[in-house]
């Protein structure tokens, strides 16, 4: 559902800061922030300093801050620096604004600091899902005499928003507040507190329990996403204890609160004036230690809320993409899963000469071409069926934990008699792979018998992607099933030592491979296996960099290799490192590989000679081959969105760029569906 679904209701009264509006349109993470902490919660200049610091904390955690306030009769979602300054200095002349006050303040052209209820109402209207505050209001002590219940509670019962706070303010009747929240249908969960001790603003424990607990941002985001899916129209309160070093003693604070309440009663303070009076009194009684705690918990809540919003954004993007594909066929990926351990050698060049090289060892990460492509497709394309084999061991658990929920698990089999495949990758300082040391015997068990168990997945797939880790009999049955059900296969050669494996199969099966994406070394191996001319051309780093710079024999050999492979395979897509991508087929750059029904479009005229189109790398993409798996992810995603070839290359290159900026082989995020790469074709020249 579009996040701006209700914005027209407020279109004449609301101003949304451009960066917030852009984030709303593109499902980027956003955190709403209230403004009463500026106008009524703290003295100047602490109020201004805290508000600015809180926004910076949200940004540093990867979300967009949206402080909400009323200025001169206009609702502001996102404030400029000068507007913060004005609110901070003129807080006494502003109106503390909740739902009750909103119409009056706007109609009079006044300014106001929005309370929890006012902020939540506006944030919910414009589509912001996560709101960070200090503590919410609640049922006041002696409610049986005063009937004083904060509008925050009823508002949370009406809206579908997640509020991250340090529970409720200590000045309130906490057990009655929890009961009232339950009556309103508000889900309460503590954060990273397995004991479920409900916090009390200044104190980490109130003496009462919440019904649930979420351990981390991912669990919190899943809870929020589920509530949104169910359309419950009631909120979630995530109660975050104040950091221990800033927490105050609960018995000490309770004595102070009792004294402050008595002072308020004697002074005739009631209604919405009670809370600011009590907070000021508590500050006086504690020598402003309470203010220090107040500031600390607000900052920490913003930190947590931003992390939650970031994870929620990932879920929403997957869901958004999945909606587009929910009535469509799901691609199948078959291949290896392994744990990569990476070593970057600082010295250059690298030679196997027994020398000691200065190196950096990176933490382990998920690897395997098939696994990487499956994870990448799930993030950029939507749901993916992944067929693979892992051991029943710690590394197997680790690999499963890395896969998004949009990657199916039922076809990832666990073998108790085999270890999960693992590999040590030696990279040079440019990030290019130089040597692999691998233990991958388990991949031999991804055989014909295993693949036949998942024939139904291939039958309903628009495309079947497989890597060279699979044994030859497994490749054979994949291609037989693809031929049976008229499904195109996409072969990722994986490594120059095993790139030619499927070409040992009968030609009628090889021809079922419609796409192949080798690098120059893998292409050379395949073409040599097929008998392309003389012995293979020796290719080193220097030669590759000189491509198109006077080394015509290199280019002519590459084209000759592509011609040989294209006798068997319709589309040969060669990643040439910093030089770009060479596509060889019998189409034009405007050809669409799939129609709107996700049926493979054969070449325009199979009797025509092949064309060689060279797509140049953009300036900010250093090396397409260095992120080959993600290039393939982007290319395939665009293909099955019925994009033409030059757009597929554009999306592939943008995916490679995202991978090159990531420490992991597959980045956490690629880019959104409205990114310009989906509209801007990659440039090319005919060779």
Are the C-beta atoms of 456 and 487 separated by less than 8 Å?
no
Q: Which residue has the tokens 């049926």?
A: 599
CA atoms within 13 A of residue 621's CA, in its CB half-sphere:
31
- Please provide the DSSP assignment of 556-617 as one string: HHHHHHHHHHHTT-SEEEEE-GGG-EEEEESS-TT-BSB-TT-PBPPPS-TTSPPEEEEEPP
What are residue 546's DSSP bridge partners? none
CB burial of 293-314 (b: ≥16 within 10 Å; e: otherwise) equals bbbbbbbbbbbbbbbbbbbbbb
Are the C-beta atoms of 612 and 562 separated by less than 8 Å?
yes
What are residue 351's DSSP bridge partners? none
Name every residue whose Cβ is closer than 8 Å to that of residue 348 and which is 6 or more positions away in sequence: 428, 429
How many C-beta atoms surround the C-beta of residue 11 within 10 A? 8
Catalytic residue among 17, 34, 314, 522: 34
Distance, CA of 502 to CA of 522 (rounded, Å): 13
580: left (phi over 0), alpha (psi -120 to 50) or beta: left
If 0-12 CB within 10 Å is exposed, 13-18 middle and 19+ buried, where does residue 416 land? exposed
CB burial of 80-102 (b: ≥16 within 10 Å; e: otherwise) equals eeebbbbbbeebeebbbbbbebb
Read off the DSSP letter of residue 444. G
- Is 34 one of the annotated active-site residues of the chain? yes
Please report which helix (H) or strand (E) contains residue 155, including its range: helix 151-158
What count of residues does the chain have? Answer: 687
Are the C-beta atoms of 206 and 186 separated by less than 8 Å?
no
- Is 76 one of the annotated active-site residues of the chain? no
Name every residue whose Cβ is closer than 8 Å to that of residue 411 and which is 6 or more positions away in sequence: 385, 386, 387, 388, 454, 457
- Please provide the DSSP assignment of 496-534 as one string: TTTTTGGGGS-HHHHTTEEEE--BHHHHHHHHHHTT-SS
Catalytic residue among 17, 96, 169, 514: 169
- Of 141, 86, 130, 106, residue with least CA distance to 223: 130
Read off the DSSP letter of residue 73. T
Distance, CA of 484 to CA of 22 (rounded, Å): 47
Q: Which residues are part of the catalytic machinery? A: 34, 169
């Amino acid at each position: 559902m579009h996040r701006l679904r209700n914005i027209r209701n407020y279109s004449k009264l609301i101003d949304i800061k451009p960066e917030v509006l852009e984030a709303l349109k593109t499902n980027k993470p956003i955190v709403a922030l209230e403004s009463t902490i500026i106008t009524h919660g703290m003295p100047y200049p602490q109020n201004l300093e805290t508000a600015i610091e809180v926004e910076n904390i949200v940004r540093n955690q990867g979300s967009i801050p949206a402080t909400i306030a009323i200025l001169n009769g206009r609702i502001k979602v996102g404030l400029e620096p000068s507007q913060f300054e004005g609110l901070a200095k003129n807080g006494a002349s502003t109106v503390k604004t909740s739902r009750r006050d909103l119409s009056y303040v706007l109609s009079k052209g006044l300014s106001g600091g929005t309370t929890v209820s006012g902020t939540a109402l506006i944030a919910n209207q414009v589509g912001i899902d996560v709101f960070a505050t200090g503590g919410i209001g609640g049922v006041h002590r002696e409610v049986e005499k005063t009937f004083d219940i904060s509008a925050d509670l009823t508002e949370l019962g009406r809206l579908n928003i997640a509020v991250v706070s340090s529970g409720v303010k200590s000045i309130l009747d906490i057990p009655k507040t929890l009961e009232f929240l339950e009556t309103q249908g508000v889900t309460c969960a503590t954060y990273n507190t397995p004991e479920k001790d409900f916090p009390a603003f200044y104190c980490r424990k109130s003496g009462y329990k919440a019904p649930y607990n979420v351990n981390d941002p991912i669990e919190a985001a899943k809870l929020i996403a589920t509530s949104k899916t169910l359309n419950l129209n009631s909120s979630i309160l995530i109660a975050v204890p104040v950091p221990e070093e800033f927490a105050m003693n609960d018995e000490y604070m309770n004595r102070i609160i009792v004294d402050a309440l008595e002072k308020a009663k004697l002074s005739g303070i009631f209604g919405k004036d009670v809370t600011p009076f009590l907070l000021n009194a508590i500050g006086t009684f504690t020598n402003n230690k309470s203010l220090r705690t107040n500031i600390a918990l607000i900052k920490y809540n913003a930190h947590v809320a931003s992390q939650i919003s970031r994870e929620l954004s990932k879920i929403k993007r997957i869901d958004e993409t999945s909606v587009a594909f929910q009535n469509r066929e799901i691609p199948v990926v078959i291949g290896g899963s392994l744990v990569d351990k990476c070593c970057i050698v600082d010295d250059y060049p690298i030679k196997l000469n027994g020398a000691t090289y200065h190196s950096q060892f990176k933490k382990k990460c998920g690897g395997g071409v098939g696994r990487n492509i499956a994870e990448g497709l799930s993030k950029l394309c939507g749901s993916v069926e992944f067929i693979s084999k892992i051991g029943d061991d710690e590394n197997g658990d680790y690999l499963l934990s890395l896969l998004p929920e949009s990657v199916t698990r039922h076809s990832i089999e666990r073998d108790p008699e085999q270890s999960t495949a693992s590999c040590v990758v030696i990279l040079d300082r440019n990030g290019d792979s130089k040597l692999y040391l691998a233990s991958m015997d388990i991949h031999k068990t991804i055989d014909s018998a295993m693949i036949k168990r998942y024939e139904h997945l291939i039958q309903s797939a628009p495309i079947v992607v497989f890597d060279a880790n699979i044994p030859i009999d497994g490749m054979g049955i994949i291609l037989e099933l693809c031929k049976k059900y008229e499904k195109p296969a996409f072969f990722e050669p994986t490594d120059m030592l095993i790139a030619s494996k499927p070409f040992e199969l009968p030609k009628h099966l090889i021809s079922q491979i419609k796409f192949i994406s080798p690098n120059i070394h893998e292409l050379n191996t395949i073409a040599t296996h097929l008998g392309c001319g003389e012995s293979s051309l020796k290719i080193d780093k220097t030669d590759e960099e000189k491509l198109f710079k006077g080394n015509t024999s290199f280019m002519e050999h590459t084209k000759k290799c592509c011609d040989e492979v294209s006798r068997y395979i319709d589309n040969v897509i060669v990643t040439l490192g910093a030089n770009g991508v060479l596509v060889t087929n019998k189409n034009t750059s405007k050809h669409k590989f799939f129609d709107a029904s996700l049926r493979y479009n054969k070449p325009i005229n199979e009797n025509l000679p092949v064309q060689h189109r060279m797509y140049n790398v953009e300036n900010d993409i250093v090396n397409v081959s260095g992120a080959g798996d993600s290039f393939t992810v982007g290319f395939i995603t665009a293909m099955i969105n019925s994009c033409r070839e030059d757009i597929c290359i554009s999306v592939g290159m943008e995916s490679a760029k995202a991978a090159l900026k990531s420490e992991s082989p597959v980045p956490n995020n690629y880019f959104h569906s409205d990114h310009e790469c989906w509209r801007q074709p990659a440039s090319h020249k005919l060779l």
